[in-house]
């Protein structure tokens, strides 16, 4: 590859091939404004490759912006930013991009990077971008791989996801909320690995991401968020927080946000739905489960302003996000979970399914289906009237539309449910869209 240098302190290397916008920029920066002659060259160090949606060139070295390993087919490009330290002599750098079919999609020529004769460069960055939007890559969603070579030796192999635009990428929460509400509280329960039951794929990740959203989008102070993950989410601990700790710390100005990702199960004899704690056993669900009616009642009894409950679970007896029964030999139950009648205007509950349905995962996105679109809704995508406020009705409408559609693409049925019903529900603002 022939390199051409622009005027100025930085070299620019280009290789436009097959309609791809593939650009390599090499920038160097040394102390005291230039390279330095030394008696002993410091040891060369490869400082890693960073994937991002852009690179800022405002400084002497390029800085990756919007760092991620998940990209959309609507993104302009994937940037691979290479960091080298204590570079001396002349060397060759090469990038190889492999598509979801594991075949080589594109490989750059060997690009030469070098320090001035007899000198070394303390810091050097180089980056290469693979065009997505408007190129063939836009039609190739899936898991990609990047390989970076230095003097024909493999430095690193990195994978990244390219998600079809229709699937929508969960928006990352902003750096900070527009406002923190010191009286608000959050209770997050995420159980992926159970003591006696099948695992719930991605429940742990869902809970951790929800915590970020509670804090950064909804404005709940981090120190007011209770997170019970896996073995911490026992029946005794859930009950202790709901019956003792939270009532002792909230007040009439409090908005409480509750999230549960895990198994739900029916009592086959009495027809009551239960949340299943970490130590729950469906064979003894009445003794080891947390009755949903009691769960709602304990929240409803709190002397607070408002509560929102988000349940990514089902109560059919089928393992959440799986295809197996929780109790061997049983059949899915058609419980009227929505008829338990405990949610009020002050306690609004949004659940992942209606009667007899199962909650589903999105393996490619590594989220539960319901939680994935709930996160998108909270991030601002539910603001259909674009008034910069997200209401509970907008959240329900957005989540229901996308969850139903995505489930049917998988050949399944999943319809979220809200209580109270839309006909009587007061449309209250949950969050303000953050710029």
199 has a pLDDT exceeding 80: yes
What is residue 177's predicted lDDT score, i.e. its pLDDT? 54
Per-residue pLDDT tens digits for 251-261: 999 999 999 99
pLDDT for the residue 76: 85
For the record, the structure tokens of 290 come out as 């947390």
Angle at 21 between CA 18 and CA 23, to 5 degrees: 120
Q: How high does pLDDT run on average in the chain?
A: 78
Fold agreement between 11-165 and 168-432: no
**CATH code reported for the domain at 11-165:** 2.60.40.3880
Question: Nearest 5°: CA angle at 73, between 144 and 95?
Answer: 40
Helix/strand/coil (H/E/C) assignment for every residue in 87-131: EECEEEEEEEEECCCCCEEEECCCEEEECCCCCEEEEEEEEEEEE
Rounded Cα–Cα distance for residues 182 and 160 (Å)? 38
Whose structure tokens read 């390599």? 24
Q: Which percentage of the chain shows pLDDT scores above 90?
A: 35
- pLDDT band for position 400 (cuts 50, 70, 90): very high
pLDDT for res 395: 93
Phi, psi of 358 (to 5 degrees): -115, 150
Across the beta sheet with 120-131, what order do the strands follow? 11-14, 23-29, 120-131, 77-88, 45-56, 63-67
Quote the CA–CA distance of 165 and 183 in Å, as a whole number: 38
DSSP letter for 319, please: P
Q: How far is CA 219 from the centre of its chain?
A: 18
Q: Kindly indicate the confidence band of residue 316, based on its pLDDT and cuts at 50, 70 and 90.
A: low
93-98: average pLDDT: 92
For the chain, the structural domain boundaries read: 11-165, 168-432
- The CA dihedral of 45, 50, 54, 56, to the nearest 10 degrees, is -30
Between 159 and 23, the more confident residue is 159
Per-residue pLDDT band at 99 (split at 50, 70, 90): very high
* pLDDT of the residue at 3: 32
Looking at residue 262, the DSSP 8-state letter turns out to be: S
Question: 168-432 in CATH: which number?
Answer: 3.40.50.1460
């Amino acid at each position: 590859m022939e390199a051409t240098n622009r005027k100025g302190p930085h070299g620019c290397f280009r290789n436009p091939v097959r309609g791809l916008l593939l650009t390599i920029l090499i920038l160097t920066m040394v102390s005291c404004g230039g390279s330095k002659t030394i008696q002993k060259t410091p040891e060369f160090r490869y400082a890693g490759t960073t994937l991002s949606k852009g690179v800022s060139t405002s400084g002497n070295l390029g800085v990756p912006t919007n760092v991620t390993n998940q990209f959309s087919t609507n993104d302009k490009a994937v940037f691979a930013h290479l960091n080298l330290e204590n570079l001396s002599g002349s060397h060759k750098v090469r990038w190889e991009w492999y598509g979801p079919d594991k075949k080589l999609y594109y490989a750059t020529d060997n690009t030469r990077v070098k320090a001035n004769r007899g000198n070394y460069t303390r810091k050097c960055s180089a980056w290469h971008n693979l065009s997505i939007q408007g190129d063939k890559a836009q039609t190739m969603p899936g898991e990609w791989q990047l390989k970076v070579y230095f003097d024909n030796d493999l430095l690193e192999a990195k994978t990244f996801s390219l998600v079809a635009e229709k699937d929508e990428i969960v928006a990352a929460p902003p750096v900070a909320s527009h406002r923190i509400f010191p009286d608000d509280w959050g209770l997050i329960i995420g159980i992926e690995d159970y003591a006696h039951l099948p695992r719930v794929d991605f429940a742990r990740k869902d809970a951790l991401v929800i915590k970020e959203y509670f804090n950064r989008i909804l404005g709940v102070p981090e120190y007011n968020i209770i997170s019970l993950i896996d073995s911490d989410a026992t029946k005794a601990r859930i009950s202790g927080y709901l019956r003792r700790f939270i009532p002792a710390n909230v007040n009439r100005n409090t908005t409480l946000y509750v999230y549960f990702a895990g198994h739900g199960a029916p009592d086959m004899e009495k027809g009551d739905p239960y949340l299943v704690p970490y130590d729950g056993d469906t064979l003894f669900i009445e003794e080891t489960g947390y009755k949903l009616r009691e769960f709602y009642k304990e929240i409803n009894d709190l002397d607070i302003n408002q509560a929102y409950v988000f349940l990514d679970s089902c109560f059919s007896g089928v393992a959440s996000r799986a295809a197996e029964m929780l109790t061997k030999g049983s059949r899915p139950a058609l419980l009227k979970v929505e008829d338990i009648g405990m949610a009020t205007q002050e306690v609004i509950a949004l659940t992942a399914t209606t009667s007899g349905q199962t909650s589903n995962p999105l393996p490619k996105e590594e989220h539960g289906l319901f939680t994935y679109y709930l996160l998108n809704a909270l991030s601002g995508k539910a603001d259909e009237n674009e008034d910069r406020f997200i209401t509970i009705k907008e959240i329900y409408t957005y989540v229901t539309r996308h969850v139903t559609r995505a489930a049917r693409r998988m050949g399944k049925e999943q319809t979220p449910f809200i209580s109270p019903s839309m006909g009587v529900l007061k449309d209250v603002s949950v969050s303000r869209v953050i710029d």
